[in-house]
């Protein structure tokens, strides 16, 4: 009882003085608060990470330095640093092995760090991810070789710099949402990713939506939510079919969920 009361005192917000950790976010949003490390000292990152780990299963910290990971590692030796994603994860839970995976495609090798941030984020949300890197439109046969895999995906994250053409091409091949991520990779006229951002916003492929420049985290998080919904819907649909096969009509609440 005393332990339960002590935990309730810290919920929904635990005030660390320099940060207020939102422990109820997983209840509202399906995943705990994610730690954005830029602008925080390694000590602050480690303390926030430790408090999140005390309340949640998986913990994710983005834009983290190796020094921040060294501080986290002292408290949590199972915490992993992902390079080049620049993320720290603590993952007691294993990825959900659903019927279909999130696909991460990156135009060039230089775009991989942003794609990896998206991958690590989606996997931290217990989603299965497949990656296809260096498949940009300059050698479009490299992308077309994976058409079957692209068309089997629930959602695709397409990462590209330069002129940002990859998401439009991918969007024209598939019937699922494509999350476009412009990167700051490119020569002078790419304007640190602005050219790719504008190109993606003007995509003629109707299933393409765009996140901010270098925002692999936002793309990976959204893709994970979409994939989780798709898998949940697939399970509900299969359950409904079994009920119908048994001669039983679904309940009203079950029908509303459908």
Residues 81 and 116 in one domain: no
Residue 242 included in any domain: no
**What does the alpha-carbon distance between residue 215 and residue 209 come to, in Å, rounded to a whole number?**
13
Residues 155 and 214 in one domain: yes
Residues 178 and 79 in one domain: no
Residues 62 and 111 in one domain: no
DSSP state of 173: T
Residues 42 and 134 in one domain: no
- DSSP, residue by residue, 139-170: GTHHHHTTHHHHHT-S-EEEEE-TT--HHHHH
By the 8 A CB rule, do 166 and 105 touch? yes
Last residue of a domain, one of 90, 118, 135: 90
**What does the alpha-carbon distance between residue 74 and residue 62 come to, in Å, rounded to a whole number?**
18
Our count of domains for the chain comes to: 2
Could you count the other beta carbons within 10 Å of the beta carbon of residue 241? 11
Residue 95 included in any domain: no
Cis peptide bond upstream of 48, omega within 30: no
Residues 55 and 116 in one domain: no
User: Over its length of 258 residues, how does the chain's per-residue pLDDT go in tens digits?
Assistant: 888 776 666 667 877 888 888 887 877 777 888 999 999 999 999 999 998 888 777 899 999 999 999 999 999 999 999 999 999 999 876 666 667 789 999 999 999 999 999 999 999 998 999 999 999 999 999 999 999 999 999 999 999 999 999 999 999 999 999 999 999 999 999 999 999 999 999 999 999 999 999 999 999 999 999 998 887 765 544 444 444 444 444 334 323 333
The CATH number that applies at residue 180 is 3.40.50.1970
Residues 157 and 86 in one domain: no
Residues 195 and 225 in one domain: yes
Cis peptide bond upstream of 84, omega within 30: yes
Instruction: Name the helix (H) or strand (E) containing 84.
Output: none
pTM over 0.85: no
Q: Tell me what pLDDT residue 95 has.
A: 64
Last residue of a domain, one of 47, 63, 90: 90
Structural domain for 83, as ranges: 2-90
């Amino acid at each position: 009882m005393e332990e339960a009361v002590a935990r309730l005192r810290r919920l929904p917000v635990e005030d660390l003085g320099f940060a207020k950790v939102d422990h109820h976010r997983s209840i509202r949003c399906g995943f705990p608060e994610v730690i954005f490390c830029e602008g925080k000292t390694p000590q602050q990152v480690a303390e926030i990470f430790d408090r999140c780990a005390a309340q949640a299963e998986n913990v994710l910290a983005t834009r983290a330095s190796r020094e921040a990971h060294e501080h986290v590692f002292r408290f949590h030796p199972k915490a992993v640093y992902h390079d080049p994603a620049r993320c720290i994860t603590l993952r007691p839970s294993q990825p959900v092995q659903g019927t279909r995976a999130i696909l991460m495609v990156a135009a060039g090798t230089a775009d991989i760090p942003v794609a990896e941030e998206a991958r690590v984020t989606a996997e931290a949300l217990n989603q299965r991810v497949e990656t296809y890197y260096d498949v940009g439109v300059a050698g479009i046969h490299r992308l077309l070789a994976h058409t079957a895999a692209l068309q089997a995906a629930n959602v695709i994250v397409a990462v590209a710099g330069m002129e940002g053409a990859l998401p439009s091409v991918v969007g024209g091949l598939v019937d699922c949402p494509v999350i476009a991520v412009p990167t700051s990779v490119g020569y002078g006229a790419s304007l640190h990713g602005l050219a790719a951002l504008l190109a993606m916003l003007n995509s003629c492929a109707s299933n393409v939506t765009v996140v901010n420049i270098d925002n692999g985290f936002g793309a990976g998080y959204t893709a994970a939510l979409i994939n989780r919904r798709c898998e949940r819907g697939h399970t509900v649909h299969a359950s409904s079919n079994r009920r119908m096969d048994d001669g039983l009509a679904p309940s009203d609440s079950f029908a509303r969920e459908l």
